[in-house]
Amino acid sequence: MTASRKNGRGRSDLRPIEVVPGFHKASEGSVLYRAGGTVVLCTASLEDSIPKWMDEKEGGWLTAEYQMHPRANASRREEREGRGKPPKGRTQEIQRLVGRSLRSAVALKALGPRTLTIDCDVLEADGVTRTASVTAGFLATALALYSRGLARMLNDQVAAVSVGFVDGEVLVDLDYHEDSRARVDMNVAATVDGRLIEVQATAEGEAITRGEFDAMLEAALAAIKRLGDLQREVLLGAGVELGVLMRKSASR
């Protein structure tokens, strides 16, 4: 066990997670997702239309928006994004990560001429807000599809987690303090049965070996599997059964 981790967490332990499904009553699907000190509100809006650049024969679409609340950190940000200015590079990067991850979970062609918009608003930030947005975004997506009788359009289950090399050890689910000290930090989005969607990894100052990279990736995939168990538990409590997805995963 790593003595420096908060709350006595072991190297592979996730932070305590709390999920409130249906938190936002006006949207088709929503969750308030807390992972340690990071809190994200994800809503999923389902509209019976598609972007103008799409052909109806292509099916449906899913897109994601990401925003940090001005007081998500210790001091207030100067202004909100989107007031006559394009999103910052980091915001665009995270939106694309969330969108790509969740599109891999939905049978878009079968969805028909519909658009799912996933809005991820970070209310409090203590590291890894992008991975929390992917994991919570899947829950909001599943709830939205279920609310419209379209749960069969889910063709996979996805989640994401951070992992890093900190003080010579592989740590899972980094908080801000750990992330700021990491020799290497990695964000992994994957299906819960271990197929990769996106891996973002950066070494700070010292390169890593292939063996170290593989150890980080294995730790991340094991954590994503545990996040998948949590997602199914939350959805089952909300009346959404993912048995079809579980059977698909077992057959792969």
The answer to whether 209 and 186 have CB atoms below 8 angstroms apart is no
- Rounded to an integer, what is the distance from CA 26 to the centroid of its chain? 22
Q: How far is CA 73 from CA 26, 39, 83, 131, 160, in A?
A: 27, 11, 20, 17, 22
H/E segment holding residue 157: none
What share of the chain has pLDDT > 90, as a percent?
A: 71
More confident call, 120 vs 88: 120
Identify the pLDDT of residue 86: 56
pLDDT digits (tens, 9 = 90+) for 162-207: 999 988 899 999 999 999 889 999 999 999 999 999 999 999 878 8
CATH topology of domain 10-74+91-246: Ribosomal Protein S5; domain 2 (3.30.230)
For the stretch 207-227, pLDDT in tens is: 889 999 999 999 999 999 999
Please say whether the beta carbons of 134 and 160 come within 8 A: yes
The pTM of the whole model exceeds 0.85 = yes
CB-CB contact of 45 with 28 (8 Å) = yes
Which amino acid is present at 228?
A: G
- Hey, what are 134's tokens? 């992917």
Burial of 212 (0-12, 13-18, 19+ CB in 10 A): middle
Residue 104 has pLDDT above 60, yes or no: yes
- Average model confidence (pLDDT) across the chain: 89
Domain residue extents for the chain: 10-74+91-246
Task: Kindly indicate the confidence band of residue 127, based on its pLDDT and cuts at 50, 70 and 90.
Answer: confident
